[in-house]
Structure 1
Amino acid sequence: MEPVDDVLKGLVEMTRTLASDSVGSIYLTGSRAFGSAVSSSDIDLFFVGQSGRLDDTLKDAVFSLSRLSPLICPYRLDVKAYRLEKLMELETAVDGPFSPPKAMLHFNAVTIKNFSRILSGTDIRDKVELPPVESYVGHLRDFTVWIISDLKGGRSVRPETTLGFPDENSSFYGYVVEGKLEHLVYVVGLIASTRIAQAAGEYVSHKGMVPELYRKYVGDRFSDFVNQIFLWCRSRWENRIPDVPSDRARLDELCEETLRFENQLLATGFGTTSSANAS
């Protein structure tokens, strides 16, 4: 497989060709940016529009790269783009009802500012405004519950709800989507990140930090479980269903524990931040 650095160089060159006058900065985020990737890890790219622009040319470039990624990139590609002004307005964009796009804007601003590596262009991270921690934690909590609801087929999820498996009659109770473990790791990582953010009142973005931070700030009976999800599903099995019967039995047990982990979050009434408790 082509080395990641060569792939990144090619993607940057292609982006500059497709939208040379529109893209100002290109950032790499996620495990590929911090040396903790496994072979199945995505390449996560963020484009920031030149002088705050997010015109049709840059939108078309994002669309083209996303559509062509199976042909031009040996790794799965996730590309997002923002206007710089959007990333500078978070201090005044924290009110109102929850919406997934607003939540993602908050998460991505934190990621770009604190957990990214610049690949090309002018570094604008010092201009990115972080959302207030209380707002960030609230969006993270609500987004996590929204994802859990989606996993359960759109079922309403409320504080003190007792959930069941996504599909108790399917392999691994419905937590394994399309034969891959990324969604299981994602859900557990979101719940763990929510608990960490509530307990510590801090931003959490780089998923490689989650097991250690969970043990440090939450430290409950699920600490070993969170570590095992990342150790087995991500590192050892590389997000693929294992073939060895003993490993499949272990995965089955991890999926059973995932339901308990979900219900633990809901049993707290979704919780609050440490700063909110202090007030």
Structure 2
Amino acid sequence: MLTFSTQQPALDQVLELLIQSFEEAFPDRIRSYYVEGSLANRSTVSTSDIDLLLIFKGRFVDEAESQRVEALAERLAQTSPIELDLDWKDELRLQEGVWPALKFGSELVYGEEIRDQLPLISLEQWTRDRMHSSFWRTGHLFHRTLPLDYPLQYPQPDEEFYGYDQRTVQLKDGREVKSTRDLIRLVGWSATALIAYQAGQYVARKSDCHQMYRKYVADDQLADLLQEIYELCRGRWNYLLPEDPAERRKLRSICEQTLRFENHFLLLYKEYLLQELAQQNVSAQQQALFFLRMTPYRDQTIDATLNALTYSPHEEIALTAKEILRPL
């Protein structure tokens, strides 16, 4: 049934059940199913999830169809023995541009091969998405108090791993345990953003991130940190917290360095944010303000820029800037 095998029978079986469920619920509506991430390059670890993208033909019939997809995805996630990361898009939306993970880092598991027909997202929009979404993750993944201030502090300074282990994963026996999944996610996304912003390069696979950062951005201690997080947190420890005392000390050291990386990113994000807010591109301004409204960033220069935008001739820009400034 599958056109691509993960070479792990248990994973293939779950994929087949997922596809069967969606095909029965949405007959002749789904064009293609693609796996991304570690399944696509067969580098899964024991706690890897299933990244599966469903591409619907044409456009969604209506909002109700999309809601039905979401409801089914939630039901399947509740009963799946493996954590699921399901996403769904329609072809019309993807004609605006697809992420490099789909274009270059995925594998078709069922349906029609259409990647050649889908344009790659522009580097400008890719950078915009990565920078803003990484900023959002900085503020929200570890439940920091908002607004953000530079320099950031540890999420939980009194904890062994400073609060970077709040995300849980489910083991095969059903137990929920703390993990470094969100630590890896935060650092990986932020590094991908900086590779786009500083070097004008796309990243299609997590496994490429630390290598591309070292090659295109800087061969420095932060590049060493990215490599350690990928090779140790993901590779050796499988996102889990190690039990060996020496390895726990190593993980604690990695978490200490992570705060430095976060602050490095936050400084560069401020630079990028001010550039976006100063643009004459209203869409770019709106997107920047959207993320700043969700994740306020307390800074005199940003506040001054927002204050200037309250006089924008574009009413929505002016009102949003006022709304962001009001709570501060």
Classify the TM-score, shorter chain.
Answer: 0.7 to 0.9
Could you list the per-position Cα deviations for residues 51-102 of structure 1 after superposition, in whole angstroms to 9, with x for gaps in the alignment?
333554464244223323342x321111111111111124xxxxxxxxxxxx
Question: Aligned residue for 1:276?
Answer: none
Following the alignment from structure 1 to structure 2, what is the Cα–Cα distance between the partners of residues 246 and 54?
56
Cα distance, 1:9 vs structure 2? 2.0
**Structure 2 residue ranges without an equivalent (≥5):** 1-7, 169-177, 273-328
Cα distance, 1:2 vs structure 2? 5.2
Contact between 1:25 and 1:118, CA under 8 Å: does it hold in 2? Answer: yes
Distance 1:125-1:270 versus aligned 2 partners, 3 A rule: farther
Alignment length (residue pairs): 253
Question: Aligned residue for 1:64?
Answer: 72
**Root-mean-square deviation (CA), in Å?**
2.2
Is 1:184 aligned with 2:183? yes
Cα distance, 1:16 vs structure 2? 0.9
Question: Aligned residue for 2:16?
Answer: 9
Cα distance, 1:125 vs structure 2? 1.6
Distance 1:239-1:54 versus aligned 2 partners, 3 A rule: farther
TM-score between the two structures when normalised by the length of structure 2: 0.71
Of the candidates 57, 61, 70, which is equivalent to residue 50 of structure 1?
Answer: 57
Question: Aligned residue for 2:296?
Answer: none
Is 1:260 aligned with 2:290? no
Letter of the structure 2 residue corresponding to residue 186 of structure 1: R
Could you list the per-position Cα deviations for residues 218-273 of structure 1 after superposition, in whole angstroms to 9, with x for gaps in the alignment?
2222111111111111011101111111111111111100000111122335556x
Kindly, what percent of the aligned residue pairs are identical? 31
Cα distance, 1:154 vs structure 2? 4.7
**Structure 1 residue ranges without an equivalent (≥5):** 91-107, 273-279
- Larger radius of gyration, structure 1 or 2? 2
Which runs of structure 2 are paired with 1:73-222 in the superposition (5 Å)? 73-90=80-97, 109-150=99-140, 151-157=142-148, 161-177=150-166, 178=168, 179-218=178-217, 219-222=219-222
Following the alignment from structure 1 to structure 2, what is the Cα–Cα distance between the partners of residues 11 and 206?
23
User: SS at 1:34's partner residue?
Assistant: coil
Is 1:236 aligned with 2:226? no
Which runs of structure 2 are paired with 1:27-46 in the superposition (5 Å)? 27-46=34-53
Contact between 1:45 and 1:79, CA under 8 Å: does it hold in 2? Answer: yes
Q: Which has the higher contact order (CA 8 A, sep 6+)?
A: 1
User: SS at 2:110's partner residue?
Assistant: strand
TM-score between the two structures when normalised by the length of structure 1: 0.83
Cα distance, 1:138 vs structure 2? 2.1
Following the alignment from structure 1 to structure 2, what is the Cα–Cα distance between the partners of residues 157 and 129?
36
Following the alignment from structure 2 to structure 1, what is the Cα–Cα distance between the partners of residues 66 and 147?
37
Following the alignment from structure 1 to structure 2, what is the Cα–Cα distance between the partners of residues 229 and 235?
8
